[in-house]
């Protein structure tokens, strides 16, 4: 993206996919941190489409206690509408920037971005989000979107890109994962997805990991979708997230990853998810989210 390009912001205040309330307020917190203004200062034309209309827990019939896919129908409806709107944004020549909300929304945002083009996928997250209804210990769909997007998931969720899988697993990279469920770990080991855990980041450094990831996501594709879950950052620097996990990457490592993404010139769409203002401190996590988006879109130190 270059100065003067158009960016389309769309909020998705969904928390039906999560086990803890509060991430539905994430889009408001990120906007409050000055997202549109600061993108404008970076030279972009910003169009804010407001929020996708999504159901609330209070107005949605509760799922059965033993449900393996909690709130499947309303989440599938949300993802279908989101995919259509994102695909329309792409058709208009704008870069979609989706604000979450829990990570289930990426089933829709990434599928919509990939509907008319072959994209790679970079997934930066403390969790793999690679469960399905057979492996999930919780039934929460925000733990399943990466599996769905690579063709391993409930048929109600897998077809929003117009093909299955939406993303070829050979062009998918998972970065900074450090918290896996047992059956999810087995499924991930059997998958062609490339995984860089915290071990690889500690051992090789973020720059090396990102260079490898970008090569995988861009070879044979038209660019890539980026999904960034704020819980990938260590909770000492990003306390306001739905499912914090200790010993994460630093804010500076996060910025380096985003800066290298910007330098690649191959970013085609992105979502920023799982900001939970209820658990935040003075909106610090939402502010970090804005700073990282700016780095991904070309903001430089010098």
Q: What residue spans define the domains of the chain? A: 6-296
- Is 154 annotated as ligand-binding? no
Pick from 37, 27, 28, 29: nearest CA to 7: 37
The whole-model pTM stands at 0.98
48 is in an annotated binding site: no
Radius of gyration of the chain (CA): 17
Does residue 271 have a known ligand-binding role? no
Question: Do the beta carbons of residue 140 and residue 19 sit within 8 Å?
Answer: yes
- Domain 6-296: assigned CATH number: 3.40.800.10
Just list the catalytic residues.
103, 125, 127, 129, 142, 229, 231, 274
CA distance 178 to 176: 6
Whole-angstrom distance, CA of residue 269 vs CA of residue 92: 13
- How far is 296 from 276, CA to CA, in rounded Å? 21
Residue 234 labeled ligand binder: no
Q: Are 229 and 292 in contact (CB under 8 A)?
A: no
pLDDT in tens, the chain (302 residues): 655 699 999 999 999 999 999 999 999 999 999 999 999 999 999 999 999 999 999 999 999 988 999 999 999 999 999 999 999 999 999 999 999 999 999 999 999 999 999 999 999 999 999 999 999 999 999 999 999 999 999 999 999 999 999 999 999 999 999 999 999 999 999 999 999 999 999 999 999 999 999 999 999 999 999 999 999 999 999 999 989 999 999 999 999 999 999 999 999 999 999 999 999 999 999 999 999 999 999 999 88
């Amino acid at each position: 993206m270059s100065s003067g390009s158009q960016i389309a912001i769309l909020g998705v205040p969904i928390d039906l996919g999560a086990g803890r309330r509060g991430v539905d307020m994430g889009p408001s917190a990120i906007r409050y941190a000055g997202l549109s203004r600061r993108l404008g200062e970076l030279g972009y034309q910003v169009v804010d489409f407001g929020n996708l209309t999504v159901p609330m827990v209070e107005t949605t019939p509760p799922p059965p206690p033993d449900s393996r896919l909690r709130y499947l129908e309303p989440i599938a409806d949300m993802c279908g509408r989101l995919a259509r709107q994102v695909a329309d944004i792409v058709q208009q020549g704008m870069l979609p920037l989706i604000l979450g909300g829990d990570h289930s929304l990426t089933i829709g945002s990434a599928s919509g971005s990939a509907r008319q083009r072959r994209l790679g996928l970079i997934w930066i997250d403390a969790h793999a989000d690679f469960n399905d209804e057979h492996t999930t210990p919780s039934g929460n769909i925000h733990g399943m979107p990466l599996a769905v997007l690579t063709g391993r998931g409930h048929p109600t969720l897998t077809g929003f890109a117009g093909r299955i899988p939406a993303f070829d697993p050979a062009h998918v990279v998972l970065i900074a994962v450090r918290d896996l469920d047992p059956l999810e770990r087995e499924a991930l080991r059997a998958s062609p997805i490339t995984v860089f855990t915290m071990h690889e980041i500690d051992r090789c450094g973020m720059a090396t990991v990102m260079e490898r990831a970008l090569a995988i996501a861009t070879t044979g594709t038209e660019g890539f979708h980026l999904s960034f879950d704020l819980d990938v950052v260590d909770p000492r620097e990003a306390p306001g997230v739905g499912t914090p996990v200790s010993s994460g990457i630093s804010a500076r490592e996060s910025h380096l990853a985003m800066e290298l993404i910007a330098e690649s010139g191959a970013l085609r769409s992105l979502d920023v998810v799982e900001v939970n203002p209820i658990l935040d401190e003075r909106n610090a996590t939402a502010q970090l989210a804005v700073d990282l988006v700016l780095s991904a879109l070309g903001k430089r130190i010098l």
